[in-house]
Amino acid sequence: MDCYTANWNPLGEETFYRKLELYSMEWGLREDLRDCVVAAAPYGGPIALLRNSRRDKTPGARPLLEIYSASGLLLASVPWKSGRLVHLGWTAGEDLLCIQEDGTVLVYNLFCEFKRHFSMGNEVLQNHVLEAQVFHTEFGTGVAILTGALRFSLATNIDDLKLRRLPEVPGKVLRVQHRRALPAQADGLVHAAPEPAASRGAGLGAAADGEASQEIFRIASMAPGALLLEAQKEYEKESQKADEYLREIREQQLLPEAVGQCIEAAGYEHEPETQKSLLRAASFGKCFLDKFPPEGFVRMCQDLRVLNAIRDYQIGIPLTFTQYKQLTIEVLLDRLVLRRLYPLAIRICEFLRLPEIQGVSRILAHWACYKVQQKDKSDEEVAQAINQKLGDTAGISYSDIATRAYDCGRTELAIKLLEYEPRSGEQVPLLLKMKRSKLALGKAIESGDTDLALSLYHQFCRHQERETLKDLYNQDDNHQELGNLHVQGGYCQQRIEGRVAALQNALDEFYKAKNDFAAKATEEQIKLLRLQRHLQEELDKPYLDLSLHDTVATLILDGHHKRAEQLYRDFRIPDKRYWWLKINALATRGDWEEMEKFSKSKKSPIGYLPFVEVAVKHHNRYEAKKYAPRVPPEQRVKAFVLVGDLEQAAEAAIERKNEAEMSLVLARCSAGTDGAVAEKLNRARAQLLKK
């Protein structure tokens, strides 16, 4: 056993660990890693480096963003042209997050291709990023920022961005991140960014192996698995010691356990030779058992073949066995597809005999979607290459691939790919999107789907043969669609008389269709158009095509209050909506005298807090203070806080004996100027808590 235990080291009294050199990194760095911003993705993922250009004295030199595989092979690089970088991190889907000093986060894929960006908010922009961290939770990939003002901003899921500002140091966030990191490390490979002192050395993995490995390989181990491994070795030497070891195991009735230990331990080994030795020992032990289930042995052989394939230097994904099981084969295949390693992904699918739709078909579809993005070959060549490779493979949708081609701006390629789609009906949506109506209609007829063909014919007529469509609707007595057609035609008219005439025809059709809502809406639109034309002629200002609300708001902004009031009555605008419209328009106009007069005209249907809010929004606290006392008691604290009168806000909160409102006011108090108010609130809270 000496050859197996030579590189093991004790860790305490019970545990042993070893350090394995996985790869000799040949990335040719000219700088130490201490001079780079570095991020290594978990689960054997890629390594991102941004080389520091401060030491490069060349005028105009830019730092270089580089992405390497875990084995040190360059995947892509691009000059860094954005702002000062603070931190790099990886998402769970292996996208690279580049966090800048101003709080902007740039997202790149594995090949340094820019995908999108987002901001961590105005506070981060103003105070700058002091430190940043990317973390993973069950909600997704998150970003935590410590600003120059020593405040934390947090987004728990960058795909559904909701920013939070934390009032204190979020120790729980750091603990969550640490806890999430442990499962990827506790079983084996710890694949993290090297320490600052490291430079161009080998890629190392510190392995704290599983229990089976420790039991077999610990010094002077007498575990069943260790004895079985020795027995197999002696058997190969044709030594009688093999029988002695085997007898010792069988006498203790531990042979099934020994076989299981050897199978399990093989999964934790990175060296294929050691894996083979353990599996040979397990196979040897199985020969002396009558009913040992073979599934575990076969599954481990399959898993190790997959793991050894992806750990290869040219692939560079050094997953441990436990990581592989946590990741699942589906996610591993997705990661191979992301790296554009289509042949390997297909071979793994075929080896594991995965269903075509989940395996080979899905990967070929990804390959085809990548193929259509390559601009160095003609449309004809790409279409033929894709058809030659895919043929009639089950689960492949040529229409999906054609859609990707169209999205990449290759319309002719998309049409050629659609020719290979066996289901004519599947070709129709994309042809319509590409505005190839005649071709889509032909494909719909070929599909034999009468409803689809008729629907497409209607669409074709709507765009090119409106009179024919009108005749069709007349034949079917389809008054609803005839009304819709008149409305659409009306808004193609330049002159207002033609538009009103078309709407009048639509009104008649809606009445015939017994659609009272559409008829009423059309009638009011005709009435509004006539009124807008009258206003436009009389006031010499454009009113046509404004909505009813915009018409009222524009009249108020221009000081025509009586005309606005008339529209409010004629069109029966709800009271609450009209009051909101009017106070917003008056505040925008800066007509505070009219706004005060309006507030006293009758009891406000929306209350008086909106008056406070609108005045504060337009930076006029003086006017806002007039309405704060008129706000009902349950909203009064909020109103006084808005106008900055903390003393009155405190009185209102104490009077209502509301702890939440007291806390709200306290949060706004500053130690220097509001000490007395804060003291009064604290006394009131203490009395409230005693009760």
Sheet holding 152-155, edge to edge: 129-137, 140-147, 152-155, 163-166
For residue 195, is pLDDT > 60? Answer: no
Contacts for 661 with CB less than 8 Å, ≥ 6 apart:
637, 652, 653
Residue 129 banded pLDDT, cuts 50, 70, 90: very high
Structure tokens given for 84: 């000062």
Sheet holding 64-68, edge to edge: 36-40, 47-51, 64-68, 74-79
pLDDT of residue 29: 75
According to DSSP, the residues that pair with 77 across neighbouring strands are 66
Of 190-199, 310-319, 509-518, the least confident: 190-199
Q: Which of the pair, 81 or 474, is modelled with greater confidence?
A: 81
Structure tokens given for 29: 């760095």
Question: What does the pLDDT average to over 355-375?
Answer: 85
pLDDT of residue 48: 93
Of 423-427, 604-608, 627-631, the least confident: 423-427
* Percent of the chain scoring above 70 in pLDDT: 87
Digit-coded pLDDT (tens) for 430-453: 776 777 767 776 777 776 767 766
Most confident of 9-18, 301-310, 512-521: 301-310
Q: Is the distance from CB of 267 to CB of 321 less than 8 angstroms?
A: yes
For residue 59, is pLDDT > 70? Answer: no
Digit-coded pLDDT (tens) for 552-589: 999 999 889 899 999 998 888 999 999 999 999 999 99
pLDDT of residue 691: 62
Q: What is the dihedral of CA 551, 552, 556, 558, to 10 degrees?
A: 20
For residue 8, is pLDDT > 80? Answer: no
Give percent helix, percent strand, percent coil of the chain, each to the nearest 5: 55, 10, 30
Q: Is the distance from CB of 39 to CB of 193 less than 8 angstroms?
A: yes
pLDDT of residue 3: 62
pLDDT of residue 2: 54
Measured CA to CA, the distance from residue 303 to residue 310 in angstroms comes to: 11
Per DSSP, the three-state class of 63 is: coil
Digit-coded pLDDT (tens) for 236-286: 888 888 888 888 888 888 899 999 999 999 999 989 999 999 999 999 999
Structure tokens given for 654: 């104490």
Nearest alpha carbon to residue 363 among 351, 374, 373, 348: 348
pLDDT of residue 452: 66
Contacts for 215 with CB less than 8 Å, ≥ 6 apart:
221, 223, 225, 226, 261, 265
Which DSSP letter does residue 469 get?
H
pLDDT of residue 689: 75
Find where tokens 């069950």 sit. Answer: 138
Q: Which of the pair, 174 or 212, is modelled with greater confidence?
A: 212
Structure tokens given for 193: 């960014």
* Percent of the chain scoring above 90 in pLDDT: 30
Tell if the pTM clears 0.85, that is, is over it: no
Domains, in order of start, for the chain? 33-165 (2.130.10.10), 222-436 (no CATH), 621-690 (no CATH)
Measured CA to CA, the distance from residue 565 to residue 555 in angstroms comes to: 9
Q: Is the distance from CB of 217 to CB of 230 less than 8 angstroms?
A: no
For residue 1, is pLDDT > 70? Answer: no
Per DSSP, the three-state class of 142 is: strand
Question: What does the pLDDT average to over 215-219?
Answer: 78
pLDDT of residue 179: 36
pLDDT of residue 108: 95
For residue 348, is pLDDT > 60? Answer: yes
Structure tokens given for 269: 């080994």
Question: What does the pLDDT average to over 466-471?
Answer: 72
Question: What does the pLDDT average to over 673-686?
Answer: 83
The chain-wide mean pLDDT, for the chain, equals: 83
For residue 507, is pLDDT > 70? Answer: yes
Question: What does the pLDDT average to over 398-419?
Answer: 84
Contacts for 613 with CB less than 8 Å, ≥ 6 apart:
642
Q: Which of the pair, 105 or 383, is modelled with greater confidence?
A: 105
For residue 204, is pLDDT > 80? Answer: no
For residue 111, is pLDDT > 70? Answer: yes
